[in-house]
Amino acid sequence: MEKFTTLTSVAAPLPMINIDTDMIIPKQYLKTIKRTGLSEGLFAELRYDEKGNKNEDFVLHNAPYDKAQILIAGDNFGCGSSREHAPWALLDFGFRCVIAPSFADIFYNNCFKNGILPIVLPQEDIDKLLDDASRGANATITVDLEAQEIRGPDGGVITFDIDPFRKRCLLEGLDDIALTYEKGEHIEKFETANAASRPWI
């Protein structure tokens, strides 16, 4: 998993509430277990009409937001089903950080497991970031995970909370498999002792 330390990017504003995982990545894009190529389906029902034509008004079709790595979203982001394709699609598009007033629990946990930093902030701070995001290319923001700070284009600083274990995993790029490998010596000792004590297994 790619490490997350400091990220500077334009932020794409998407202040809709209750964006569920089916809206993030519709069911017709779930036929693959690959993590690449899913950006095509990201927010498909918002990005395209019924005939597959671009909705030119949708934020991600317009520069500089088409290259954004930070998403500012509304309350209860990622609700609905538990599909892991949702963070995969966000990551494949280029998003490494999603900031919202609240997240659905399963989606929130899946973000960390896939190298995306989900940040929960009060609505007042979200409104400030949405205002920054509305300024386009001249208003990049910086997310500093080590310092737990979001620095705005005008010098303002917003701090955020994060679980220390999850912070460490992102900073060091540790997914569940990498965390298991950290215990490799203990696992090997157990396997050796278990084979000696129960050779019939």
The confidence score (pLDDT) of residue 16 equals: 96
Rounded alpha-carbon distances, angstroms, from residue 28 to 18, 45, 100: 20, 11, 26
C-alpha–C-alpha distance, residues 23 and 14, integer Å: 12
User: Are the beta carbons of 43 and 65 closer than 8 angstroms?
Assistant: no
Q: Which two tokens stand for residue 142?
A: 């910086």
Is the model's pLDDT at 181 over the cut of 80?
Answer: no
The confidence score (pLDDT) of residue 186 equals: 61
Fold assignment, 6-173 = Aconitase; domain 4 (3.20.19)
Task: Collect all residues with Cβ–Cβ distance below 8 Å to 71 and sequence separation of at least 6.
Answer: 11, 12, 14, 90, 95, 97, 98, 99
Q: Is 157 exposed, middle or buried (0-12, 13-18, 19+ CB in 10 A)?
A: exposed
Would you list the domain boundaries of the chain?
6-173
Type and span of the H or E element at 144? strand 141-144
Instruction: Name the phi and psi angles at 152, rounded to 5.
Output: -85, 170
Order the strands of the 149-151 sheet from edge to edge.
6-9, 141-144, 149-151, 157-159
Condensed to tens digits (0 to 9), the pLDDT of residues 62-115 reads 999 999 999 999 999 999 988 899 999 999 999 999 999 999 999 999 999 999
Distance of CA 180 to the CA centre of its chain: 22
Condensed to tens digits (0 to 9), the pLDDT of residues 113-126 reads 999 999 999 999 99
C-alpha–C-alpha distance, residues 197 and 93, integer Å: 51
